[in-house]
A and B are shown apart, each in its own frame.
Chain A
Amino acid sequence: MADVINVSYDTQIPNNVNLSSDRKVLKALEKWHPGYLDWWNRLIPRNLQQSMVYLRTAVSVDPKGWAKFDYLKMPDYRWGILLAPRLEGRTIPCGEHKGQPAWQEVPGEYRNLLKRLIVIQGDTEPGSVEQQRFLGLTAPSLYDMRNLFQVNVEEGRHLWAMVYLLQKYFGKDGREEADDLLRRSSGSDEAPRMLGAFNQETPDWLSFFMFTYFTDRDGKMQLESLAQSGFDPLSRTCRFMLTEEAHHMFVGETGVGRIIQATVDAMTRAGLTDASDINKVRDLSVIDLPTIQKKLSLHYTLSLDLFGQEISTNAANAFNAGIKGRYMESRIEDDHLLKDSTYKVLDFENNQTVEREVSALKAINMRLRDDYVKDAEGGIGRWNKIINKAGIDFELKLPHQAFNRKIGAFAHKPIDPEGQLLSSEAYSAGLSDWLPTTSDGDFIESLMQPCYEPGQYARWIAPPRVGIDNKPGDFEYVKLHMA
């Protein structure tokens, strides 16, 4: 019996799933490995690949001490397969099989549904790494560069985690899907990633932080609901991924917070109090608050699209089958069957936003989105505190859920950030006030100059309050390979 808490490093692939005695899956993964390395090596700029990065590596799935930190070249990162410990007597938490023992093997009748969910989740993991591939070249500090790479290698590991499930439980089909995960690529004409938000560019660091704040949070919600899966290996995989995901959102929230901090500090120093005086603020080489709001609105609305249609048969099927639960399923007090209950969804009828009671089963996506919105609101409050403290009259807000949507009831409707339906002319005219324009992008890009001195930070971003692994302020998080 393998030690499920500590990770075995005796094979090429660190794992706590006793891979060395599972010859078939080991062989399959070893076959997939070179393609993965090749994908990784082609992705990140060469000199950065050769640099020593102070990374954490998962060495255990024990929540008390699961990671160790050390300098590592990214290609040498040990992408492992780590499942949270198996809970004795775990049962299926929801749907028509509720109360039955959780499945340890894939139930044949749900094979395709499960595979589809895992493939979609798996497709997002490498997608974000691809989107962020060039950001290392403009890192505002070694600290941020290290955080970027940490996020990247962990997304890579998440891909491994999904690939393991595909290889272990889904036979030949699973292997083909695993190969296709490396074939698709973000923004590609040939074979784009499956979800829209993962084909958008991440052109600058503000986008990166917004992405990790909003889009990784969607990832968190998806993982949370997959962690409720009656298919136990999926549940265990996702539970462990969530511990890593928390750091990604931390990077996002503190990143945006530090940008705001730098902005308000610079404004205070220059005696500016009017946040809307964009040009004056920009002259200070920091990002003005209205532009930060625009970026926020963009990433938030893109992330809402990731939840799919408000009313969804697929989501209902997955819940009823017990292969995907709700956020915190076990803490919800209801029958966990939802056959007769209803849920309020936002809809668009007769040219207005309305709330409609629909079958709770079909509103699973909407419910998860509501939970997401609540979860996302927290950070906004903390950002506003920074602005407040500096005595500047400006408030960041989540736009209305109907704004700028491409999927669902509000898709392509001319609705402003307050949720008001406009004429399409008025809407087009307002867009440049609500979403980043090309010139906003150009301005931000002009700030994106690398800052590679240990302990130094670009002007537009404040240093963090504490270092990673409690390291001092001038710690060299990345030893750059400058050949």
Chain B
Amino acid sequence: MKDIIDFRVDPSAYCHWSVVYDGPVANLIMDVDEREGLFDGYELKLNSYDLGVDIELNDIVQRMRFEHPEVKVVVLQSGKDRVFCAGANIRMLAEASHSQKVNFCKFTNETRNAIESAEEDSGQNYIAAIKGSCAGGGYELALACNYILLTDDGNSSVGLPEVPLLAVLPGTGGLTRLTDKRKVRRDLADIFCTVEEGVRGQRAQSWGLVDEVVVNSTFDETVQCRARAFATKSVKMDVRQGIALNVLKRDVQSDGSIDYEHIQVALNRELRQAMILLKGPRQAAPVDMKTFQQQGDQAYLLKLCRELEDAILHLRTNELEIGLWIFRTQGDPESLMAHEHLLVRHLDHWLSREVHAYWKRTLKRLDVTSRSLAAVVEHGSCFVGVLAEILFAVDRSYMMDDEFEGDTRPIATIALTEGNFGMYPMGNDLTRLETRFLANPGHIDALKSHVRKAIDAKTADDLGLVTMILDDIDWEDELRIFREERISFSPDAMTGLEANLRFAGPETMETRIFGRLTAWQNWIFNRPNAVGTNGALQRYGTGVRGVFDRKRV
């Protein structure tokens, strides 16, 4: 096993994917190298995937947006004969610990979501061109695309065989996208999810499992033709030049703490907590988008987001016992506001939109992180706009009130910007403020009058923007007690509690995937019928069937 799973990828080192760029169309080819599994003990046969394959895919989807804004249509296809994708590797799943499975599914879900939202966020339309068998996670990958073509060669099929084969669910969005996105009738979906060999040809189309079934001899041609047509219809503006995303630099200390340029992650293993400090900009905001684009991946708000995303993914996957993340910021609020304001003023600029959408996705990663999250608003902090959003993402926030003895930093304030009112919606399609003030929608309007004004502790408290304000006398003690209490609770109960409280309001496909589907899947992942020594997942591949406890729970 590799010690640390690194989510940073250099495209020149891809093992499993390639992209052929053809003007506005990008052909994304999955050709998994079976010997390059992330862990030992399994081979990635038949284009099956593990976390390593998905880390590359995530990287591609991300680079597509920033490095290749000229791309309007991405055609997902297989580089292998007779198989599109067999889904998540089953041996890998059977050998993985529960936490590995859960983390793996979460990350792959996020990548599927990134593919799905690419059209809305970036005007990049993903279409799946299925030749060969497309099963389980393979079909879930196709489901995340906006359009699915299937060849009618009498063999190629789409299927979700998880239940009959493995006694688990199509848990990477499969069940939800079937009913909510493709609106497959529930009884047909019921049949579909219980037949091992899947569905082919016309039936796949008439059930709504795919959008189009094409005769095999003209399949490739039709796929390219559809791709061109989607590209022509696209309303995405023509952008010739993207920006390069160089591999992020970070310094990992021997104790696991990490230094990025703008972020410091300090671990305290005894207290099982991470202190995550986000630093404000040191340089003035770029004067215009042209300058921003010239700065490229060094532009403050983009780089900060990349660092934050990397820190989230790293801690989530590699630091399972760090149960409490505490966010801090330090920096000049005015300067940060100026950086953000440039982007807000130029929403018609492709790069501004990409950076916003990127923050949206990264903040969503935070929402679904199974760690206790807290924020402390200290003197000298800069919880402004997009960073203020963190205050509304965390489970609790504490703010310094009044002067602290010997503390010469500017008095703590926070500030809302236009960004907090719609640029970074959560998975439930509401803003974090709307979710926070579900009982009182009118309050949102009241908050708007504070846009881009410094809000001090008392006002923040009045407006309900922080959990608690504390003065010099209480600060240390209250925080200590909170932290000690928090990590004394059962981690499972915390995960369940937080996941439930964070998503008030309406259900969307996304909340249903991360809530309902994932929760059921994680339950099944813990049950002997799947993972017991005689369970179906554990026994898969031995030829011997699982033995089930027949009691319904």
- A interface residues with partner B (beta carbon < 8 Å): 96, 112-113, 115-116, 176, 180, 183-184, 188-192, 194, 313, 315-317, 319-321, 338-339, 359, 361-362, 364
Q: A360 — nearest CB in chain B belongs to which residue?
A: B543
Tell whether, in the assembled complex, residue B197 and residue A313 are in contact, meaning their CB atoms are under 8 Å apart. Answer: no
Cα A361 to Cα B542 in complex, Å, equals 7
Tell whether, in the assembled complex, residue A313 and residue B154 are in contact, meaning their CB atoms are under 8 Å apart. Answer: no
Tell whether, in the assembled complex, residue A190 and residue B217 are in contact, meaning their CB atoms are under 8 Å apart. Answer: yes
Tell whether, in the assembled complex, residue B540 and residue A191 are in contact, meaning their CB atoms are under 8 Å apart. Answer: no
Cα A191 to Cα B152 in complex, Å, equals 7
Tell whether, in the assembled complex, residue A362 and residue B542 are in contact, meaning their CB atoms are under 8 Å apart. Answer: yes
Cα A191 to Cα B200 in complex, Å, equals 12
**Contacts A189-B216, A191-B155, A339-B544 supplied; 9 other A-B pairs, CB < 8 Å:** A112-B164, A112-B196, A116-B196, A184-B154, A190-B215, A316-B544, A317-B543, A361-B544, A362-B543
Q: Which residues of B contact A190 (CB under 8 A)?
A: 152-154, 215-217
Q: Which residues of A contact B164 (CB under 8 A)?
A: 112
Tell whether, in the assembled complex, residue B543 and residue A189 are in contact, meaning their CB atoms are under 8 Å apart. Answer: no
From residue B40, how far is it (CB to closest CB) to chain A in Å?
14
Could you show 7 A-B contacts with beta carbons less than 8 Å apart? A112-B195, A191-B155, A192-B153, A317-B543, A320-B544, A361-B542, A362-B541
Q: Binary interface profile of B, 207-221, with partner A (CB < 8 Å = 1, else 0)? A: 000000001110000
* B545 at interface, CB cutoff 8 A: yes
Tell whether, in the assembled complex, residue B197 and residue A112 are in contact, meaning their CB atoms are under 8 Å apart. Answer: yes
Cα A184 to Cα B510 in complex, Å, equals 40
Tell whether, in the assembled complex, residue A192 and residue B155 are in contact, meaning their CB atoms are under 8 Å apart. Answer: yes
From residue A197, how far is it (CB to closest CB) to chain B in Å?
14
Tell whether, in the assembled complex, residue A113 and residue B196 are in contact, meaning their CB atoms are under 8 Å apart. Answer: yes
8 A Cβ contacts from B177-229 to A: 195-197, 203, 215-217
Given A96-B545, A362-B542, A183-B154 contact (CB < 8 Å):
yes
Most chain A CB neighbours (cut-off 10 Å) among B164, B216, B217, B541? B541
Query: How many A-B pairs with Cβ below 8 Å?
Result: 61
Cα A319 to Cα B541 in complex, Å, equals 12
Q: Which residues of A contact B217 (CB under 8 A)?
A: 189-190
Q: Which of A189, A194, A321 contacts B155 (CB 8 A)?
A: A194
Q: Which of B153, B197, B544 contacts A116 (CB 8 A)?
A: B197
From residue B147, how far is it (CB to closest CB) to chain A in Å?
22
Tell whether, in the assembled complex, residue B195 and residue A359 are in contact, meaning their CB atoms are under 8 Å apart. Answer: no
Q: Which residues of B contact A184 (CB under 8 A)?
A: 153-155
Q: B216 — nearest CB in chain A belongs to which residue?
A: A190
Tell whether, in the assembled complex, residue A191 and residue B541 are in contact, meaning their CB atoms are under 8 Å apart. Answer: no
Tell whether, in the assembled complex, residue A313 and residue B541 are in contact, meaning their CB atoms are under 8 Å apart. Answer: yes
From residue B135, how far is it (CB to closest CB) to chain A in Å?
13
From residue A198, how far is it (CB to closest CB) to chain B in Å?
12
Those 10 A-B pairs whose CB atoms lie nearest each other, nearest first: A316-B543, A191-B154, A361-B543, A189-B217, A184-B154, A320-B543, A313-B541, A112-B196, A191-B153, A190-B216
8 A Cβ contacts from B500-553 to A: 540-545
Cα A401 to Cα B196 in complex, Å, equals 32
Cα A354 to Cα B542 in complex, Å, equals 22
Q: B91 — nearest CB in chain A belongs to which residue?
A: A313
Tell whether, in the assembled complex, residue A313 and residue B543 are in contact, meaning their CB atoms are under 8 Å apart. Answer: yes
8 A Cβ contacts from B409-445 to A: none
Q: Which residues of B contact A319 (CB under 8 A)?
A: 543
Q: Which residues of A contact B215 (CB under 8 A)?
A: 190
Q: Which residues of B contact A112 (CB under 8 A)?
A: 164, 195-197
Cα A180 to Cα B545 in complex, Å, equals 30
Tell whether, in the assembled complex, residue B153 and residue A313 are in contact, meaning their CB atoms are under 8 Å apart. Answer: no
Cα A315 to Cα B152 in complex, Å, equals 27
Q: Binary interface profile of B, 146-165, with partner A (CB < 8 Å = 1, else 0)? A: 00000011110000000010
Q: B544 — nearest CB in chain A belongs to which residue?
A: A320
Tell whether, in the assembled complex, residue A313 and residue B540 are in contact, meaning their CB atoms are under 8 Å apart. Answer: yes
Q: A315 — nearest CB in chain B belongs to which residue?
A: B543
Tell whether, in the assembled complex, residue A359 and residue B542 are in contact, meaning their CB atoms are under 8 Å apart. Answer: yes
Cα A183 to Cα B215 in complex, Å, equals 12
Cα A113 to Cα B153 in complex, Å, equals 21
From residue A97, how far is it (CB to closest CB) to chain B in Å?
11
Cα A112 to Cα B157 in complex, Å, equals 14
Cα A184 to Cα B543 in complex, Å, equals 30
Q: A318 — nearest CB in chain B belongs to which residue?
A: B543
Cα A313 to Cα B542 in complex, Å, equals 6
Cα A115 to Cα B153 in complex, Å, equals 19
Cα A192 to Cα B151 in complex, Å, equals 12
Q: Which residues of B contact A338 (CB under 8 A)?
A: 543
Q: Which residues of A contact B543 (CB under 8 A)?
A: 313, 315-317, 319-320, 338, 359, 361-362, 364
Cα A361 to Cα B543 in complex, Å, equals 6
Q: A361 — nearest CB in chain B belongs to which residue?
A: B543
Q: B156 — nearest CB in chain A belongs to which residue?
A: A191
From residue B194, how far is it (CB to closest CB) to chain A in Å?
9
Q: A194 — nearest CB in chain B belongs to which residue?
A: B155
From residue B81, how far is it (CB to closest CB) to chain A in Å?
9
Cα A319 to Cα B545 in complex, Å, equals 11
Cα A364 to Cα B540 in complex, Å, equals 16
Cα A116 to Cα B157 in complex, Å, equals 13
Most chain A CB neighbours (cut-off 10 Å) among B215, B544, B545? B544
Q: Which residues of A contact B545 (CB under 8 A)?
A: 96, 317, 320-321
Q: Which residues of A contact B195 (CB under 8 A)?
A: 112
Cα A316 to Cα B165 in complex, Å, equals 13
Tell whether, in the assembled complex, residue B197 and residue A180 are in contact, meaning their CB atoms are under 8 Å apart. Answer: no
8 A Cβ contacts from B115-162 to A: 152-155
Cα A369 to Cα B216 in complex, Å, equals 32
Q: Which residues of A contact B544 (CB under 8 A)?
A: 96, 316, 320, 339, 361
Cα A183 to Cα B197 in complex, Å, equals 18
From residue B133, how far is it (CB to closest CB) to chain A in Å?
11
From residue B198, how far is it (CB to closest CB) to chain A in Å?
10
Cα A116 to Cα B200 in complex, Å, equals 14
From residue A214, how far is it (CB to closest CB) to chain B in Å?
22
Q: A317 — nearest CB in chain B belongs to which residue?
A: B543
Q: Which residues of A contact B196 (CB under 8 A)?
A: 112-113, 116
